[in-house]
Amino acid sequence: MTLARTYSVALVGVEGHLVEVEADIENGLVALLLVGLPDTALREARDRIRAAIVNSKEDWPNRRITVGLSPASLPKRGSGFDVGIAVAIMAAAGVAPVDVLDRVVFLGELGLDGGLRPVRGVLPAVAAASAAGFSQVVVPQDNAAEAQIVPGMHVFAMPSLQAVLGWIRAGAPAVTFDDEQEPRPGRRLQVVREPHPIAAPGKPAAAADQSSGPDLADVLGQPVARRAAEICAAGGHHLMLLGPPGTGKTMLAERIPSILPTLDWAAALEVTSIHSIAGALPPDRPLISEPPFCGPHHTATKASIVGGGSGMIRPGAASLAHMGILFLDEAPEFDRDVLDALRQPLESGQVVLARAALTARFPARFTLVLAANPCPCARSGGQARSCLCTPSVRRRYLGRLSGPLLDRVDVKIEFLPVGRAELLGDGKSAEPSAVVADRVRAARERTAHRLAQTPWRLNAQVPGPELRQRFPPAPGALQPLERAIEIGEVSARGVDRVLRVAWTLADLAGKPRPDADETCYALGLWLGVGS
C-alpha cells in the first residue's frame, strides 16, 4: 500500500482541532516532503522521524514520501505530530497494518533513538479527540496521567516508536502491563486504564489539605482587610491594597486562595488545560483542583502577562490565574501598557490574541489583586512620618495606575501601620482560613442558587443591565448611590460594581436582597474609604 492515514490534534489556544496525517509513497527522487502549513519545529520532524524509524530497527522507504496535514488552512505548530507521521509512513510502506489506524489518535514527539518524548497540551488534545468521536489515544508515558483525566478514553502510554508499531501489528489489543516495571525500549504498552482514575466527571475535585499552608489568621492587625478578602473571595471581586511596606499586603494576597472553594470538575479541566499548554503542569498533579495563584514580577512584559509569542502562542499570567488569583505586587512599577492590557480580560473573562493566520482565545476569568505603596519612598503613613515626597510626586506615582483600570476594581483597602496593642488584641479574634472558607462557600452557594438559570455563577460576572432588571435591591437601597452620583463620586460602571459587591454582602449575611446598609458599605469599599 502506498497511501495511509493517521490522526493527530493541533491546538489553537485551548481548542483542539483534529488533523488527518496522510502519507503517500511513490517512485521518484528520495525525499520527505511536509505540506499543510507546518512551522519550523514541524519541518524539522523530517530528520527526527527518519532517525527514529531507523534506530527502531525498521527499514526506511527510500522513495519519494509526501506527508500532508489536513486541513491545510490550519497552522500546525510543535512536535506533537511526530508519532502520527511516523506511523503513517510505516503503514504506507506496508510494514504496519492500516485497519486499526482509523480509530486511534497519536500524540507525542520522537527522539532520535525512537523514544517518545512528552509534549504540551495533551489534556486539551485528548479532549478534542474525544469530542471528535475517538475513544483510543496513544501518548508518551510522561503524559499518561494527564491524558487519563478525560473520561471515556482508552489511554495507551508508549515508551518508544518500536512499542507503538508492535502494538499496531498485534491488532491494537487492550492489554495492560505492570506499571511498576521499568520502561524500556521494546515494551509494547505500559498504561491502559478505563474508567478515569482521578475523579468522576461532574463531581468536585477533592479538597487539598490546607492545615499546613498559609492561613488568613496570620494577617494580624488588619481586620478590615481580612473582611475585604472574604468579600472578594465570595463574589469574585477585584481588590486594591494600598499601604506602606510591612503592613501585610502581600501576606493577605497570598492567603486569599486558602479561603476559595475547590474547583468543580469543569473548572478543573479548563485550568489544567491552560497549564498543560503553558508547560506549567506539575508532574505530580495531573489535575489542578485548587484555585491557582499567579504573582508575576513587575518587570514582566505584556506578552508574559496576557499571552502571545512569535511562533506558538502561549497563555500568559492572566490565563494561568484563570479561576484563581492574579497578584500584581508593586503595581505602579509595572509598565502602564502592561496594566492597561488587562482591562479587556477584566471585562470579558478571556484573552483574544489575533495573528495574521489565526486568532487564539484563552480563558482569563481571574480575581485581580493589586498592591501598591502610597508613594515612591514607601514611608508615607508610617509612624515616623519621614516621607519627603511632595503631593505631585505621590500623584504621579499612583497615576501610573490608570483611572479606567482602577474603575474596574471593586474593593479598595488602605493598610495602616499596626502597633503592638493592635497585634496582641487582634490575635485572639482573627479567624482561621477554614472558618472564613465555610462562609465563602455558603455565600457562593446562595449566589449559584439565585443565578441557576443564567450563564453566570458569581456576582462579579453579572452584567449591569441584568443586575438592575432581574435582580433589583430592596426598596431604598439605592439612596447612597444616588447621592454619590449627584456629586460625581461614582461612574456608571462604578454603580454596577457597587451593586455587585452589595449582593455579595447580602449573600454573606444570608439576606434575600441587599438593603441600604450593604449598598453604603459597598460604596465605601469602592471609593476606598471602607477602612
- Work out the pLDDT band at 213, boundaries 50, 70, 90: confident
- Work out the pLDDT band at 256, boundaries 50, 70, 90: very high
Mean pLDDT, residues 481-490: 86
Q: What 3-state class would DSSP assign to 352? A: strand
Residue range of the domain that includes 424: 216-440
* Residue 211 domain flag: no
Mean pLDDT, residues 44-55: 93
Quote the pLDDT of residue 380.
65
The residue with greater pLDDT, 229 or 465, is: 229
Same domain, 53 and 101: yes
Same domain, 430 and 470: no
Percent share of the chain, pLDDT over 90 = 61
| Residue 289, pLDDT above cutoff 70 | yes
* Residue 371 domain flag: yes
Spatial neighbors of 470 by CB under 8 A, at least 6 apart, are none
Distance CA 444, CA 54 (A): 58
The residue with greater pLDDT, 195 or 509, is: 509
Same domain, 220 and 165: no
Quote the pLDDT of residue 389.
84
Residue pLDDT, tens place only, 94-106: 988 888 899 899 9
Q: Are 232 and 410 in contact (CB under 8 A)?
A: yes
* Residue 369 domain flag: yes
Spatial neighbors of 315 by CB under 8 A, at least 6 apart, are 13, 14, 274, 277, 278, 307, 351, 362
Q: What 3-state class would DSSP assign to 430? A: coil
Question: Cβ-count burial of 453 within 10 angstroms (0-12 exposed, 13-18 middle, 19+ buried)?
Answer: exposed
Quote the pLDDT of residue 528.
82
- Work out the pLDDT band at 1, boundaries 50, 70, 90: low
Distance CA 404, CA 107 (A): 44
Lowest-pLDDT choice from 58-72, 347-361, 451-465: 347-361
Instruction: Spell out where 381-430 has E strands.
Output: 411-414
Same domain, 350 and 476: no
DSSP state of 375: S
Instruction: Spell out where 258-384 has E strands.
Output: 293-294, 325-328, 350-354, 359-363, 367-372
Amino acid at residue number 64:
R
The residue with greater pLDDT, 491 or 219, is: 219
Same domain, 124 and 238: no
Instruction: Quote the cell numbers at residue 350.
Output: 478571556
Q: Which of the listed residues 169, 191, 208 is the one where a domain comes to its end?
A: 169
Same domain, 63 and 15: yes
- Domains in the chain: how many in total? 3
Lowest-pLDDT choice from 92-96, 315-319, 436-440: 92-96
* Residue 467 domain flag: yes
Quote the pLDDT of residue 181.
38
Instruction: Spell out where 84-167 has E strands.
Output: 104-106, 109-110, 116-117, 136-140, 154-158
Same domain, 436 and 528: no
| Residue 75, pLDDT above cutoff 70 | yes
Quote the pLDDT of residue 381.
58
Mean pLDDT of all residues in the chain?
87
Quote the pLDDT of residue 424.
72
Quote the pLDDT of residue 331.
95
Distance, C-alpha 271 to centroid of its chain = 4
With residue 419 as reference, give the H or E element that holds it.
none
Spatial neighbors of 274 by CB under 8 A, at least 6 apart, are 14, 315, 319, 320, 322, 362, 363
Same domain, 321 and 230: yes
Quote the pLDDT of residue 516.
92
Mean pLDDT, residues 218-234: 94
Q: What 3-state class would DSSP assign to 521? A: helix
Residue pLDDT, tens place only, 290-307: 999 999 999 999 999 999
Q: How far is CA 51 from CA 57, 81, 227, in A?
A: 10, 15, 61
| Residue 241, pLDDT above cutoff 90 | yes
**CATH code where residue 76 lies:** 3.30.230.10
* Residue 175 domain flag: no
Quote the pLDDT of residue 395.
87
**CATH code where residue 249 lies:** 3.40.50.300
Same domain, 397 and 475: no
Q: Rg (Cα) of the chain, in Å, rounded? A: 27
Quote the pLDDT of residue 378.
75
Mean pLDDT, residues 342-371: 91
Residue pLDDT, tens place only, 130-172: 999 999 999 999 999 999 999 989 999 999 999 999 999 988 7
| Residue 207, pLDDT above cutoff 70 | no
pTM > 0.75: yes
